[in-house]
């Protein structure tokens, strides 16, 4: 089973840059999208269906903002939009698809780069998100939480850890949250297979030719509950995909 997470930074723009052709070539079983920036009627559902994918989406109330989706070749047993937490669900940040004993989530964690208020919102979200998935595990114990976490976990995950230590996405409190989240029973599946490989990033600024110079951040993850460890097969960053300022991250597991 091939699962990919991808922050597309606008689904319509990504489709215009060849996303559907890439999808047909790559053929994941499940594609988790973040930052769709589209209302339901603006998502090219028919084009995805023509490519062989059912599309489930959860949009923000604000137009052109946030939003998540799951494209899937197999009909899920169940799809759940949101976390039943109105302050977050208004921003379209969480969608879940259940396949037998496995649940796959597409989640878009907030950014705190716009100021102190959104940074505080982000930290509260992180706490509430962890509480939510902890409770969800009682019902659905095998989870894969795919998405843009907007946090680099360790110094190896960012091109300049010294100068970025005061920047949202690499703040000590964010990294501490990520560490304890993993320690609570999750596997960073990319690092599971590539524990010490440097220069592996999933997002680059549009400024200063950052992508060409590989001045990036690894902020996109496929997090798996520890009980899935024996089913993990492979994880790679697909840095050649150029539909966004992010790139996709692949996880292969046994079905």
Catalytic residue among 148, 157, 188, 220: 148
Q: How far apart are CA 12 and CA 16, in angstroms?
A: 6
pLDDT in tens, the chain (255 residues): 999 999 999 999 999 999 999 999 999 999 999 999 999 999 999 999 999 999 999 999 999 999 999 999 999 999 999 999 999 999 999 999 999 999 999 999 999 998 999 999 999 999 999 999 999 999 999 999 999 999 999 999 999 999 999 999 999 999 999 999 999 999 999 999 999 999 999 999 999 999 999 999 999 999 999 999 999 999 999 999 999 999 999 999 998
3-state secondary structure of 33: strand
Tokens of 104: 């796959």
Q: Per-residue b/e over 62-82, b at no fewer than 16 CB within 10 Å? A: eeeebbbbbbbeeebeebbbb
Run of H or E including 232: strand 232-237
Question: 251: which residues sit within 8 A by CB, 6+ positions away?
Answer: 2, 3, 4, 5, 144, 146, 189, 190, 222, 224, 232, 234, 235
* Dihedral (CA of 216, 219, 225, 231) sign: negative
Rounded to the nearest 5 degrees, what angle is found at the Cα of 43, between the Cα atoms of 39 and 49? Answer: 150
Tokens of 96: 């879940």
**Domains of the chain by start residue, with CATH:** 2-253 (3.60.10.10)
Sheet strands (E) in 73-204? 78-81, 94-99, 102-108, 143-148, 186-188, 203-204
Q: How far apart are CA 248 and CA 23, in angstroms?
A: 11
Give CA 247 to chain center in angstroms.
10
Q: Is 148 one of the catalytic residues?
A: yes
Name the residue with tokens 């990033």: 201
pLDDT tens by residue, 175-220: 999 999 999 999 999 999 999 999 999 999 999 999 999 999 999 9
* Claim: this prediction has a pTM higher than 0.95: yes
């Amino acid at each position: 089973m091939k699962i990919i997470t991808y922050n597309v930074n606008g689904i319509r723009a990504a489709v215009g840059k060849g996303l559907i052709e890439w999808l047909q070539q790559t053929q994941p079983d499940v594609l988790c999208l973040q930052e769709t920036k589209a209302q339901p009627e603006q998502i090219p559902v028919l084009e995805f269906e023509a490519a062989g994918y059912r599309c489930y989406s959860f949009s923000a109330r604000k137009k052109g903002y946030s939003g998540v989706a799951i494209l899937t070749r197999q009909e899920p047993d169940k799809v759940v939009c949101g976390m039943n937490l109105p302050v977050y669900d208004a921003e379209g940040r969480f969608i879940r698809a259940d396949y037998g004993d496995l649940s796959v989530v597409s989640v878009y964690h907030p950014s705190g780069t716009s100021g102190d208020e959104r940074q505080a919102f982000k930290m509260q979200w992180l706490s509430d998100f962890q509480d939510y998935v902890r409770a969800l595990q009682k019902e659905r114990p095998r989870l894969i939480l795919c998405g843009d976490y907007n946090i680099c976990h360790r110094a190896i995950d960012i091109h300049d850890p010294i100068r970025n230590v005061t920047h949202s996405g690499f703040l000590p409190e964010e990294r501490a949250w990520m560490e304890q989240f993993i320690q609570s029973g999750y596997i960073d599946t990319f690092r599971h297979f590539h524990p010490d490989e440097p220069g592996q990033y999933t997002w680059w600024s549009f400024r200063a030719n950052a992508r060409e110079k590989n001045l990036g951040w690894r902020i996109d993850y496929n997090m798996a509950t520890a009980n899935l460890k024996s089913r993990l097969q492979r994880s790679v960053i697909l840095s050649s995909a150029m539909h966004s300022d992010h790139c996709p991250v692949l996880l292969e597991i046994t079905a």
